[in-house]
Amino acid sequence: MNDSTPTHADRRRSHAAFSRAKSLIPGGVNSPARAFGAVGGEPIFFSSASGQWLTDIDGNRYLDYIGSWGPMILGHRHPRVVAAIQAALERGTSYGAPTEAESGLAERIIEAVPSIEKVRMVSSGTEAAMSAVRLARGFTGRERIVKFAGNYHGHVDSLLVAAGSSAATLGVPDSPGITAGTAKDTIVLEYNEPQALEDCFREGGDTIAAVLLEPVVGNMGLVKPSREFLEAARRLTERHGALLVFDEVMTGFRLAYGGAQEILGVTPDLTTLGKIVGGGLPLGAYGGRRDVMDHVLPAGKVFQAGTLSGNPLAVAAGTATLDELREHPPYDQLERHGARLEQGFREAAARAGIPAWIARQGSMMTMFFRREPGALPVTGWKTASQSDTALYGRFFWGMIDRGVYLPCSQYEALFFSSAHTDADIDRTIAAAEEALGSFR
């Protein structure tokens, strides 16, 4: 950084916009992750984005490390994606009827993702998870679902138990309005503890319809799976006739073109997708084994429908994004930038004398602020929840004042795009050194 680096103290228009929004929208936001409740202060309102940059309504620019919470792997307003949306728009916005473009996107997904033989389009990752769970229950004739504390699968009633950053007690819903009856068939275990999964199946394996997990977690901060944990999940579901479901809404097409399952070498029975698959527009998908997917109406009897499923604009954006990723793979560049960012953050924290645990996979990363040196690695919610969230809040605002926009919660992974340059990464590391150094 240097003396010409701008600070971002003037956010008066954002303040006014938030005051107005609070009178119209619950909490002033349309998704809680945007509310800045975990870092204090008020959310920033944005007016535009391009490449790796966000511009707020006060005219401040920020290097973006959220990327709309993951979809913008190519950066904002990538020319190929914009052109595809414009061409689709000229033909219409929604038909409520089949299009050839839907089959084209389905072919690309099936070609890319190892587990998917057939796929159904929906409008969000939440809808994909909800539909996959219903399908698993309909296919197996069983009711119980196993999920893991700190894994978030959207705001589905039966899955909003120990979700994301909430520290809910086993089996207790995380939100008013979710009945105990809805949650009673959801079993919550600790991530990365294969013995707990073994015990669960030994006690009631013939009642379990599916095990649902994030193969690389992004919703309690980034947490990697152990090989033993993933192998246990695959082995036990196969042995007991349950389905293994990977939630790749975040990791799909981001960690590799075939998602986390490509690099981890574990193939689930069903996979849920979102974010990148829609190129930044509202689109999700779920797919998997042909014999399972053929239970979905109208081929089978498991009901799922959606007026805007396979929306032409979203399909166009998703298709253009996947084509760009396939034809010009950015993954080596993303890995190189990720390794540099990880090293820079680690060194900056060490120089500032701040205990930190940094977890990264490709272009996803989290720096967990620990309360004491030598704290345990972050392997699940029990260890993630020991983080110093107040210190993360200070770091967040320190980076904002240096023109870097990070996730507004300790328990969210950051994302970066192929639009980020070597200079951007170096600038971000310099900002982190300044911000962390100011804590001494």
Residue 147 lies in a domain: yes
pLDDT for 5 beyond 50: no
Record the tokens describing residue 41, joined without a space: 């202060």
Between 144 and 167, whose confidence is greater?
A: 144
152 is catalytic: yes
Do 164 and 183 share a domain, yes or no? yes
pLDDT digits (tens, 9 = 90+) for 305-318: 999 999 999 999 99
Catalytic pick among 58, 247, 269, 401: 247
Query: Which residue range forms the structural domain that includes residue 231?
Result: 79-327
401 is catalytic: no
Do 214 and 66 share a domain, yes or no? no
Catalytic pick among 65, 152, 286, 411: 152
What pLDDT was estimated at residue 292? 98
Residue 6 lies in a domain: no
CA torsion, ordered 418, 58, 85, 404, to nearest 10 deg = 10
pLDDT for 140 beyond 80: yes
What pLDDT was estimated at residue 8? 53
Domain boundary among 327, 348, 368: 327
Do 370 and 308 share a domain, yes or no? no
Q: If you average pLDDT over residues 180-197, what whole number do you get?
A: 90
Residue 228's CATH number: 3.40.640.10
Do 235 and 342 share a domain, yes or no? no
Do 247 and 389 share a domain, yes or no? no
Residue 361's CATH number: 3.90.1150.10
Do 310 and 401 share a domain, yes or no? no
For residues 353 and 237, give the distance between their C-alpha atoms in angstroms, rounded to a whole number.
45
Do 336 and 376 share a domain, yes or no? yes
What pLDDT was estimated at residue 171? 41
pLDDT for 156 beyond 50: yes
Residue 4 lies in a domain: no
pLDDT digits (tens, 9 = 90+) for 417-439: 999 999 999 999 999 999 999 98
Do 232 and 380 share a domain, yes or no? no
Residue 185 lies in a domain: yes
For residues 198 and 409, give the distance between their C-alpha atoms in angstroms, rounded to a whole number.
33
Tell me which of 32-36, 71-75, 237-241, 357-361 is least confident: 32-36
Record the tokens describing residue 7, joined without a space: 């600070």
Residue 213 lies in a domain: yes
Is residue 48 helix, strand or coil? strand
Catalytic pick among 118, 147, 224, 275: 275
Do 234 and 207 share a domain, yes or no? yes
Domain boundary among 275, 301, 327: 327
| Closest alpha carbon to 167 in 150, 182, 179 | 150
382 is catalytic: no
Pairing of strands 53-56, 186-189: unpaired
pLDDT digits (tens, 9 = 90+) for 111-126: 999 999 999 999 999 9
Do 221 and 298 share a domain, yes or no? yes
Do 205 and 117 share a domain, yes or no? yes
Residue 3 lies in a domain: no
Q: How many domains does the chain have?
A: 2
